[in-house]
Structure 1
């Protein structure tokens, strides 16, 4: 027996903070200063965070990372309070700290310049992703596309987001594929409405989604957005090593997000993946 409506999943403050790369205390501080709206509370009185809350948290963390907000320099002088150490060693250590801070300020200034030039949230994405999206006219991408890229980059890194960006480029430049994608999204969302996982519509929708994915891949290949980009990706991959350590695996990151798909929708996703694997295997 499946419920007629599956409510959106919402997560606790610990999971929300872990996904954003911060702490529950910091999240509470964001609430206190009005930076993050207070979310709904569950029956136990605890805060519950949904998708929009997570997007806002990612914005806050990314903007803080480029120097937007208060920046305390006291850490650089902590070692100088140890009077037992030789003054030359202390000064040498402090000089290294300040040099590192200077490099960080230059990085932050460059990031702020990107934000001013590209706007938000596009300017919050990595250079690899924004470069790939650069030839599209302003407004070609939907705000939801950009939010998805923000989440994808957090989970899978810049290279994963760059691959996802290729899909959005095709959707932005092929109205027929965009219309079909919207139709499939709506149909998949309807599976959360108490549909039996073995309903024939699940298999039909999986076949349609597979066909759509193949069409997207063909359009990407025709536009030079697939294997032709691999060499450029390899160059960026070397440059981006260590750019942002999420501190968790992609699977762990995904479990922190407020996704809660029904059994029917999960089966549709699994069938789609199997159909795609079979299709690619047959092609080779």
Structure 2
């Protein structure tokens, strides 16, 4: 009869479960001991040592598939394998830290999805008289713009900053948002669209820089998705925007086509 201990005792001594030991056997990481005359497998010091080595490497982050080759390698290859695992773990740590930071930014509201500069633009709006619904719509539009037209996002932010510095623009925009209470065929909508277009044409800074306009002009599909967001909730604003853009386009401003 072979001296040794049972699989249950071996698992307990090493600090794993019997199921884990059997999994190690299945993967070929630890050879199964021969059965003794009673039909039981008895684990000796050699198997226990290998179990401890596999468990230790696995706990250190070495994938199970890689533990066998590492344990069977010479000292140089073993060291190189450990260095490679350390590099992978460092990358995972960096990724987890980034995820944790994202969670913290989510708890802080907009800052998970938008840069500080965009958040500052949104923070200005309530003080200028814009209501929470308008600010929420602008927040969503900024998130979509950053994701869908990243090359035009900085220019778009600059445009918004100039617009918020322009009292007449702010007044026209607030009137546009208030127009949601009007009937869809109210003639004041076309009058307001004309006033907005005239203001844009008279103040090039609120139109945006040429590079930004070109980026948006090339992104018609993305522009449509952004511009039609919440259209069902603000149909008059959508019509007002379309009329204003048509007038600007007719005047030669490179507006995207919907």
Larger Rg: 2
Q: Which has the higher helix share?
A: 2
